[in-house]
Amino acid sequence: MPLFVTRTARTGRWLWEWTKSIAAALVVWFLVSTFLVQAFRIPSGSMERTVLIGDFLFVNKLLYGAEVPLTQKHLPAVREPRHDEVIVVRSPVEDLILIKRVVALSGDTIAMQDGVLFRNGLVVPEPYVTLHRVAPTIDTPTADRMRRWQLPFLAKSAAEPYRPDLRNWGPLVVPPDSLMALGDNRDESLDSRYYGFIPRRNFRGAPLFIYYSYDPSSWRPLSFVTAVRWRRLFSAPF
């Protein structure tokens, strides 16, 4: 057999083995990222101090039942979300993935008075929450939208004088197969106060740990190396 034929055959076998290895790796990556764990980058400060802009974390998609691609179905959940957990959800009003904290589940009565959260009539301790010294204001259209979505769930009998704002609203009764989620950086968070309860089909998972973090505000060449927040690596955002 000529030498060049032997070399061609060996090269062909080598390329085939590499192709199979790459294809298998891609299949494993697809299955893992679709059904088990997915990387997520924090793009905003709505959950500071719990998670920061520049944090990169892994999300457990299996916990609440991963979505099957190209369908509207989910795998069976390991368990359902719990009070005060950090959760990853799809926004009910736009195509965004959000990270927020669960403040109320189906059947709960939830309210806020002067920035203090009440769940089922009891104050919810929130040591992780950040509030500005001066309460934020909202424009009239935003206030009207808040009032419109909240009215059907209002526990009060007299709805006419009801005028919610970001720190005073409710009490609201959470409907079935839904939850309410707020940001820890309460005055800088676009959350359930604005767009309403989050339906069960929008649950995406729970954060596992921060695998990388850097400070984007101290930008310089190679800042992704020089501005690493080493103490945050492998910490759990709870």
Residue 16 phi, psi (nearest 5): -65, -45
Integer Rg of the chain from CA: 23
Q: Where are the beta strands (DSSP E) in 31-78?
A: 37-41, 55-60
Q: Which residues are catalytic?
A: 46, 100
Report which of 162, 130, 123, 124 is spatially closest to residue 146, judged by C-alpha positions: 162
Q: What is residue 67's DSSP assignment?
A: B
C-alpha distances (whole Å) from 27 to each of 20, 69, 212, 214, 226 are 10, 14, 25, 30, 34
Cβ neighbours around 218 below 10 Å, total: 10
Do residues 58 and 209 make contact, with C-beta atoms less than 8 angstroms apart?
A: yes
